Amino acid sequence: MLINETNAGVSGQASSASAGATQAGLGRDQFLKLLISQLENQSPLNPMDSTAFVAQLAQFSSLEQLTQVNEGLASISVGQAGMINNQAVGLVGRTVVYPGSEITVGDQDSAEFRYRLDAEATDVTINIKNATGETVRTVTMGAQTSGLQDFSWDLKDTNGNTVPKGKYSFEVSATGTEGNEIPVQHYGIGLVDGISFDNGFAELIIGKLRITMADIIEIQK
């Protein structure tokens, strides 16, 4: 009778300890120490049911594996971010091509940009606008073949005056052989002046414009 009472007491402790371990969020090492202590004090004639302990250990094992996976992924993420940041820093002083129609006018003598015609055009017109949307220069290119076209703007307006520094944009319109409008893709070309990490990731500074590494489609010398 004494053995049964002792075993009942140990079994009750095991159940409450297992529940307590879950509720209190014991660590794996603490739980193992508690398990060993209870196994040492159990009745040899009527050992307690270890199902709850096995299930708890399985949970600890799964949690430990997930933690290791998360730590590994975090390390990879940090490594990739470091590589991207190093690549971005290496682009300072280089000229890059990126999607968009923005132009930054600073101390340079000209501004280059590029556009792609989806088909052959009989008439191509370039309109350059200031920050308020006003057209400051219109250039008629005439007929052009399909594909990439480069243009260099001398920073002059319609009257031949040099435009002030600031943000500008260009818009290309093209007419096809059958009088239809041809789709045009616009690309900016600019010198990378610096790198910014203000938003938590690397951004290339091109004049007053900021682009990400993912925006770059070509790197020039």
Residue found under tokens 């290309």? 172
pLDDT at residue 37, rounded to an integer = 72
Q: How confident is the model at residue 10 (pLDDT cuts 50, 70, 90)?
A: very low
In the chain, domain spans: 2-89, 95-220
| Whole-angstrom distance, CA of residue 26 vs CA of residue 136 | 71
Q: Give the pLDDT confidence of 20-54 residue by residue, as tens digits.
A: 444 444 566 676 677 667 666 665 555 555 566 66
Q: What is the pairing mode between strands 147-153 and 111-117?
A: antiparallel
Q: Give the pLDDT confidence of 96-130 residue by residue, as tens digits.
A: 999 999 998 988 899 999 999 999 999 999 999 99
Q: Give the pLDDT confidence of 141-184 residue by residue, as tens digits.
A: 999 999 999 999 999 999 999 999 999 999 999 999 999 999 99
For 95-220, CATH number? 2.60.40.4070
Residue found under tokens 């435009």? 163
Average pLDDT, the chain: 79
pLDDT at residue 7, rounded to an integer = 42
Using CB atoms within 10 Å of the CB of residue 120, give its burial: 0 to 12 exposed, 13 to 18 middle, 19+ buried.
middle
Q: Give the pLDDT confidence of 128-146 residue by residue, as tens digits.
A: 999 999 999 999 999 999 9
The conformation of residue 47, written as its DSSP 8-state character, comes to P
